[in-house]
A and B are shown apart, each in its own frame.
Chain A
């Protein structure tokens, strides 16, 4: 059974007289261990799709099943718990908390968990080391370069060992060399078995994905698994 299933998903945005259809009878299944790239022009619905996948935005109709959990059948507080346990977000503009150090930012998803502070620190330091930032632990975001901030954001998404990582334009504000480094990092994580869904419109990222879904006007325009992957 696919790890993520979207069934008959509709999303309409109503503003005054207009009714914008962002997603229309959308169907998608994502296997565990894939590195899925969602591409498409602006306004094609890919960001909406990611919000809905992330349990942040109620679809107008349809179901989202992650690990067979109907996430919009949960209460709002339960959905927060779901996000904490199942998802790691990497946001477009990193979205680090400016008054927290790199280590503290990475510890954020752990802040509401009942773990000893020392254990939280150990976990956060470990993922920071994994993304190559062991030496920048005590720096505030404004003391880090763009690439480094991105790595902190990735570490934060990883710290809870979530089954699924959702990334929104993670290379959007990085130069080409840094973008490549970051994509390599995602690739490595995926090679270790991490399921990743990434929204991007940067064509240079194409080679890293094992499957690319292109959206247009709220429906799938093309869906090609470039390197067929054996499902375990």
Chain B
């Protein structure tokens, strides 16, 4: 038999007290686990939603005085000869260090054409990417799929008197209108959308794109890093982050995280108090027992070890179960926090952290009771002697 055997038997044969000790830590640890796993999972969820808000990096041709700009549009007839972005260079974007964070790269070509006697802006896009990026686009009909199909913005369709399925002649080629965008109040209402290669041919800009929108998704999006990285591989282009979106994103997530941590700290403090009070009670209750140990020749250090070993055992149990319960609670309340289907993450780091946290709190809360126990006067403890 060793000191550990005594501690182990004490816990084993006094189950109600053991339950109390474990419960105290358990509540604290499982709350922390719940909040952390919840905030991690929700962060991912928010990221997915954020992706719906579109691009957060814009690549434009390098030019000081050209106002060919799609975001905040002014596509005048004044046309200097800007540096242009060549389509074949875009593949380099995927070679940057943070390329895994890039979700969509949507190049497009913009230009003015005369359609039915009206001056209209045409935008050539890669349909699958563009429609993935602009999730808010509501198409009556269907997105373009082939080279001679068109989707029209609401205003332009009205201006030209276009209906779904109409044939439209642009630059001597005939297109079929497959869909009309719902009115959004943005410049999207004013454009005709065609497939990129077709538009490039019509506008005489083969192999050239006017503008690239990039959507990057990430938890701690190093967007400014990514901007630098893209600038490096595309020296002829201006790369800029749409900072506002990024900042709002980070702000919302940080707030949630801070809130979680604050709540977790409070609950953990309560847990520590429960352990402290229970351990203190246990020491008082065991005054006599500790007196016996001392009379039988246990040193003070032995008594401390005995009590701290007990708290260690309790903490490990509470840490493991706290982790499991926390994950269970997360699983249960996750559907209430988000509409999306979100998978639970089993993070072994979080599990290890939970046990460490329980150990830290349990040991700290038991240290004073252990010290007090070790300083008990054996005669006080053994009044009968």
Stretch among A86-94, A130-138, A188-196, A207-215 lining the B interface: A86-94
Known A57-B379, A97-B292; contact A80-B297, beta-carbon cutoff 8 A: yes
Q: How many A-B residue pairs have CB under 8 A?
A: 94
Whether A180 sits at the interface, judged by CB under 8 Å, is no
Q: Is the CB of B385 within 8 A of A168?
A: yes
Known A54-B385, A97-B289, A99-B10; contact A104-B297, beta-carbon cutoff 8 A: no
CA–CA, A171 and B299, complex, Å: 29
SS class, residues of chain B in contact with chain A: helix
Q: Is the CB of B9 within 8 A of A99?
A: yes
Q: Is the CB of A89 within 8 A of B295?
A: yes
Which residue of the partner chain, among B297, B384, B385, contacts A109 with CB atoms under 8 Å? B297
- What is the size, in residues, of chain B's interface with A at 8 Å between Cβ atoms? 28
Interface residues as binary, B268-298 with A (CB distance below 8 Å gives 1, 0 otherwise): 0000000000000000000011001111111
CA–CA, A57 and B379, complex, Å: 6
Q: Which residues of B contact A109 (CB under 8 A)?
A: 296-297
Q: Is the CB of A111 within 8 A of B289?
A: no
Q: Which residues of A contact B295 (CB under 8 A)?
A: 54, 56, 83, 89, 91
State how many angstroms separate the Cβ of A142 from the closest Cβ of chain B.
11
Q: Which residues of A contact B147 (CB under 8 A)?
A: none
State how many angstroms separate the Cβ of B76 from the closest Cβ of chain A.
90
Whether B50 sits at the interface, judged by CB under 8 Å, is no
Which residue of the partner chain, among A47, A83, A99, A168, contacts B296 with CB atoms under 8 Å? A83
Q: State which residues 50-101 of A face B: CB under 8 Å.
A: 50-51, 54, 56-57, 76-77, 80-85, 87, 89, 91-93, 95, 97-100
Which residue of the partner chain, among B1, B294, B300, B382, contacts A111 with CB atoms under 8 Å? B1
Whether B301 sits at the interface, judged by CB under 8 Å, is yes
- The closest CB in chain A to the CB of B286 belongs to A97
Q: Is the CB of A81 within 8 A of B299?
A: yes
CA–CA, A100 and B296, complex, Å: 15
* B residues at A contact (CB < 8 Å): 1-3, 5-6, 9-10, 12-14, 288-289, 292-302, 378-379, 382, 384-385
